[in-house]
Amino acid sequence: METDAKLVIKCRQGDLQAFDVLVRRHYQAALRIARRFAAIPEDADDLTQEAFVIACERLHQLAHPERFAGWLTSIVRNEARMWHRRRFTQPTLLSLDEDECRVEAPRDEHREAVRHAIADAVSSLTAEQREVVRLHYMDGYDYRETALLLDIPVGAVRGRLDRARSTLRKELREMVTTGWDLNSRELDALRHAATCALDAAEPERQALNALFFNGNGELIGADGHRIFRYSSDSLKGMGPVLIHADFGRSLRDAHADSRKGKFSISGGEAVLRVNGDEIRAPLIEESYPNWERAIPEGWELRSTARAGDWLAAIETVRLRPMPENRVLIILAPEDGRITLRGGDAPDGGVAWEVGGSFPAEFPVIGRKLVIVANIVYVEQAVRALGLEPDEMLEFCANEPLKSFLVKPACADDRWVLTMPMAPAKE
């Protein structure tokens, strides 16, 4: 039997069946607590169901998944106390003067989407079912009071509510499993994240052969030598979860031109519906490396240049044979230029022939910096930004043997951090 901790982790990854197991396992214990506050069985049942809804919404706040039972107990007790106070106190009605400033609660887009989904689901009920749902759930009348107001037996109230709940469960389940709509930028991010992820069958590094959604709207792909990071509000709520990187590779290789798709997570796997096809990949139950620790606190040298100039210089250099794809990146602030050099020599060293040079802007005039890099990685990093030729690319570095970063000059939603190569024999 799976532990509570294991089930909680699966729930956070989008496995709805795991939460059903938790409900069945702890429902009776939660119901016994609710009955201490609500003598009417139907009210205790409603309190218990509400507690599980709250637990599902706040599952990401549970610091110790193995303590789910105690955490759920505290939710039941808090909800029961609040219910008890609502039943026996009259709320004060306040009005705001026109010259007072109204402070609104922060907008929660996820909760707003849930409310719309519930409203759509309720609209699918019959008129009789909607009326009993409104009186019981929205206006707070118990079963007997609802029966008196509608002039029907209590058994009829229970029957209508049971049928309404069944319909709502079906409608909401279908809405939940529809997932997220992804646009062209997000699909491109999946492709580039997969390119930067480890592409090898190494069990001890399985986590790196994955796409990491951290739950805060960030998508990460890393292979130990470089990190791709993309951030979007549309990705919030996806995770934290690890998806096998073949998910993005299949999208890149089989659907390179797809511009929209539907993404969902269910039953231990991720599914992307695109162009009438389905791309599936398993979820990985591993811990992802602390990629944020690899990011330097600051950059000694920054430069901006046209993305098209970078790609033209890269193309020129790649026309020449290079051992291990080595290329020199020469950053010359005093000259206001960036130069890429590559070449080959019979003895295995590198004869650094000029490949391409282009103008660049340096906010601070400092020392010249020379970095040895993998030309393939550099090209992939530049293309991952998705910039037009005339858009400006920012290149950030500190020392020859430290990581360097490329990003759009006017945006921080995506970047690629790359480690340089060791210097070659001249």
pLDDT digits (tens, 9 = 90+) for 102-157: 223 333 444 444 455 566 667 778 888 888 887 877 666 788 878 887 888 988 98
- Residues 309, 356: Cα–Cα separation, whole Å: 9
Question: The pTM is what?
Answer: 0.59
Per-residue pLDDT at 94:
26
Per-residue pLDDT at 106:
31
The three-class DSSP label of residue 221 is: strand
The three-class DSSP label of residue 5 is: helix
Low-confidence ranges of the chain (pLDDT < 50): 88-114, 175-177, 426
Domain spans of the chain, in order of start = 4-86, 111-176, 180-291, 295-418
Residue appearing with tokens 């037009």 = 388
**Domain 180-291 identical in fold to domain 295-418:** yes
- Residues 115, 129: Cα–Cα separation, whole Å: 18
Residue appearing with tokens 């029966």 = 147
Q: 111-176 maps to which CATH number?
A: 1.10.10.10
Answer CATH for 4-86 from 3.40.50.620, 3.40.50.1820, 1.25.40.10, 1.10.1740.10? 1.10.1740.10
| Own/partner long-range contacts of 119-126 (Cβ < 8 Å, ≥24 apart) | 120/171, 120/175, 121/167, 121/168, 121/171, 121/172, 121/175, 122/168, 124/167, 124/171, 125/164, 125/167, 125/168
Q: 295-418 maps to which CATH number?
A: 3.10.150.10
Please, what CATH class does the domain formed by 180-291 belong to? Answer: alpha beta
Per-residue pLDDT at 241:
85
Per-residue pLDDT at 275:
87
Torsion sign over Cα 347, 349, 355, 357 = negative
C-alpha dist (Å) from residue 417 to 44, 87, 163, 315, 412: 54, 57, 55, 21, 13
Contacting residues for 89 by C-beta, under 8 A, at least 6 apart: none
